[in-house]
Amino acid sequence: MKKLYLLLIIILSGIFLNLQAQPSHYNSSADGTPNSFPFNIAGGKMVQGIIPPGTLINPTPAPAGNITKYYVRIASTGPLGPATYTDFKILFAQSSMTVFSGSFYPGAMDTVYSRASVTLTAAGGSWLEFVLDHPFAYNPAQSLIVQIGHCGVTGTYTGYSIAQTVVTGYMRRTYSTAGCPFAYGGQQEREINCGITLGAATTPNYTLKLATPGVNTTYVQVPFVSSMVGFGNNITIEAWVKPGGTTTAATILNKGVSSFDYQLGVSYTTMLPFFRAGGTIATCPFPIQAGVWQHLAAVSNGSTVTFYLNGVAGTPVTAACVLGSSSNEMRIGRGNSDAGSGNLDEIRVWSVARTGPEILANMCNKWVPNNTAGLKAKWHFDSTYVDSVSGWNGTPMGTAGFDTMTFCPIATNISGNGAIIPEKYSLSQNYPNPFNPTTNIKFAIPKNGYVEIKIYDILGKEISTLVSDPYMAGEYIVGFNASKLSSGVYFYRIVVNDFVQTRKMMVLK
């Protein structure tokens, strides 16, 4: 009987062991030389790691795909948690770099996991699993840059370690000093033992759903934080909008309540979009439609306001808009008392006056990196009200909830069309060519991937990086401004997944 009981324990233990979280591809599950950063510092800590190409090889090499889960290996020395972390975030990037050189990773990173508070628990010798907030397009030919950080922890957070591998001569791990904001603390010849799970991007694209017709008790309330003001007079507000009807207002975003520090909305009588700063109102020269998804952007530089509908600019409106600086809250889907209605998605606030090509380049790119210059806030509304950039997190009021849509929902040949999946990769000849000073470059990708488009001179010297972002499958056009270049022949080159192509263009001044 004892032998049978022991056999059952062994069998059940094996079953439970197999049910543990397991990555589809990982570099190592050995303890190696463990270190407990960043999880064990009470006041907060951040670590960055480089996972170079050709290392996520167990049990098979990782192919190109969408990362849906990320794992770190907890060493067998002891369990983690339950430990509760504040402002816990994981950020990803991809790059050709394979070592750190005395500083944090300098490029843009995408926040793939963000929690104001999260409790973590993991057994020793197991994988600590994180289900990402959105898929990340992975290119196995590049290094995966991973950043993990938090701003405080309570509970059981000592007595365990993260498995690491010593890589002599290769600085593949950096870390911060204690506390937030993070400051560079040092680097080591170590590689974090970690893993990923690749899968299709099957999670629905959620949108914010407001009452139709609108009521001023249904909206998203966002408490004031100091970073909501102080932009100077440059601002861009953009969003995907689907107004609920022509009988009620369709406020998109208002900072300041009755002071209207800055507001983007749509008139319910004319369906004309408007931008407001204090008592100054600039009205868009063209209307939008009710019940139809459209991309709307308003760009104010303090003297003019330019509206863009699906990436197409209207005639600039002269308006001396001075942004307010009150400590009043922000409201999504409500102005002061005027309501919003219908659906909103991918709202972004920028502290810069964005250009037309910049809006076009990212209009259908869902995952704009958080540290893109001038980006102050973005709400994906993928079943949360979290702003992944500055922490302008909201609370739903009334019946505010979620709906779904296909991203990108419009069909257009001038920016991005994620609704039409091309059959093959392509990089088209820029148009116009020759040009002065602007031209458009069209590309198509049949699979999600990290796209890089770089500009080179005739000697092969890199001039600029035009695109360096993950893109969903689709067709896109990105603008290029050569106003700072001399006349001559230049080359542009695309790298995405296994596709590489170069074309020639000419600047003629």
Q: Is the pTM of this model over 0.75?
A: no
Question: Distance between CA atoms of 451 and 415, rounded to whole angstroms?
Answer: 15
Rounded Cα gap, residues 496 and 64, in angstroms: 10
Residue 154 has pLDDT above 90, yes or no: yes
Check pLDDT > 50 for residue 302: yes
Q: What is the pLDDT of residues 19-29, one digit of tens each?
A: 357 899 999 99
Region 50-72: mean pLDDT is 92
Task: Give the Cα separation of 207 and 495 in Å (integer).
Answer: 31
Task: Say if residue 305's pLDDT is above 80.
Answer: yes
Q: Which of 83, 75, 88 is nearest to 157 (CA)?
A: 83
Residues 214, 247: Cα–Cα separation, whole Å = 8
Digit-coded pLDDT (tens) for 186-243: 999 999 999 999 875 445 678 999 998 888 899 999 999 999 999 999 999 999 998 8
Q: Please state, as a whole number, how many other Cβ atoms lie within 10 Å of the Cβ of residue 15.
A: 9
Q: Which domains, and CATH codes, for the chain?
A: 23-198 (no CATH), 205-405 (2.60.120.200), 421-507 (2.60.40.2550)
Cβ–Cβ under 8 Å, residues 375 and 392: no
- 501's CB contacts (< 8 A; 6+ apart) are 425, 426, 427, 493, 494
Residue indicated by tokens 């998109």 = 252
The values of phi and psi at residue 126, to 5°, are -130, 175
Q: Which residues contact 291 (CB under 8 A, 6 or more apart)?
A: 242, 243, 244, 245, 342
Tokens of 445: 């990708």
Query: 150 pLDDT band (50/70/90 cuts)?
Result: very high
